[in-house]
Amino acid sequence: MRTLSAEVERWPLKQAFVISRGAKTEAAVVVAEIADGPRRGRGEAVPYARYGETIEGVVAQIETVRGRIVAGADRAELQGLLPPGAARNALDCALWDLEAKRAGVRAWTLAGRARLDPVKTCFTISLGPPEAMAQAARENARRPILKLKIGERDDLAAVAAVRAAAPKTRLIVDANEALTFDELRRLAPELAALDVMLIEQPLRAGEDAALEGYLSPVPLCADESLHTRAELAACARRYASVNIKLDKAGGLTEALALAAEASALGLGLMIGCMVATSLAMAPAMILAQGAQVADLDGPLLLTRDREPGLAITGSLIEPPSPDLWG
């Protein structure tokens, strides 16, 4: 018979991670492990307060389906047992890992991919004074893409300072819902002049209908507005691309279906993450194959990563080893 455990882990960050909603100094994650004889599958998830989640709540959600999981529930059954979110993500990714180990193949083979290629990730620069953001950009100017958190009055000065510090790097700005529509319309032409390639989630989710019909000079990307396929039609009317995260979708199973439907609608794909360890990034590597943007820099923000972790050289992430996941 299977066994199931859910453990809380806390991983300190190199420095405070600051966005428009607040700051954090550690990554608090929930790791689910499903064991079946000598084989075990693991999945890592990050409860997110913006979506009403807590560490305790996610662990409690996992406990509500313990009986079904140990009795043999598979990934398809899990989709109906829990709603999208961190709890389902931890269990779904653990089931993928376990299934791959039982079959003696890699998880990407189960997902229909012949191989898994390395991907280049964005690197995130936290919200802060323009001079601090410029210094961080200067230290990371050789990375292919920098993602800047914005949401303060001097946003334009910060982006201009970063552009001067990293003139050859592609830039994404992420407002995390902090702008009004008028602020977006004012900032977007200026950001275009600074060669910003993408603006992520400018308006608050649920209040972004104003974007329908708006021709932004910088393409817009949905993040908080998109969790699963249920929100996809609305996002397709408002955004040029979507940020798919396993914790929002509730696991790799839904995320793969979401990515396929988004691509069919002509939307660009960003594959994102919460701040977490390599165990959370590993299944997202399958999603990131062929995506326009991979934003899987969580381990780079930690004081230390789990062992074994993903091999990351600069911004290039290698496929996970079987000892890590999948």
pLDDT, position 118: 98
Angle (CA) 82-326-94 rounded to 5° is 25
Stretch (H or E) spanning 222: strand 220-222
Under CATH, what is the fold of the domain 3-110? Enolase-like; domain 1 (3.30.390)
Residue of 14, 24, 147, 149 marked active site:
149
- 149 counts as catalytic: yes
pLDDT, position 154: 77
How many Cα atoms are found within 13 Å in the side-chain-facing hemisphere of 12? 4
pLDDT digits (tens, 9 = 90+) for 138-197: 999 999 999 999 987 778 999 999 999 999 999 999 999 999 999 999 999 999 999 999
CATH class as words, domain 119-317: alpha beta
Chain centroid to Cα 266, Å, comes to 20
Query: In the chain, which residue ranges form alpha helices assigned H by DSSP?
Result: 55-64, 66-70, 75-81, 86-103, 107-110, 130-139, 155-165, 181-193, 232-238, 246-249, 252-264, 278-288
232, pLDDT greater than 80 = yes
pLDDT, position 16: 83
**Contact predicate 112/289, CB 8 Å:** no
122, pLDDT greater than 80 = yes
Domain ranges of the chain: 3-110, 119-317
pLDDT, position 17: 87
Task: Calculate what percentage of the chain has a pLDDT beyond 90.
Answer: 95
Q: Is the pTM of this model over 0.85?
A: yes
pLDDT digits (tens, 9 = 90+) for 234-257: 999 999 999 999 999 999 999 999
Residue of 101, 147, 245, 248 marked active site:
245
3-state SS class at 114: coil
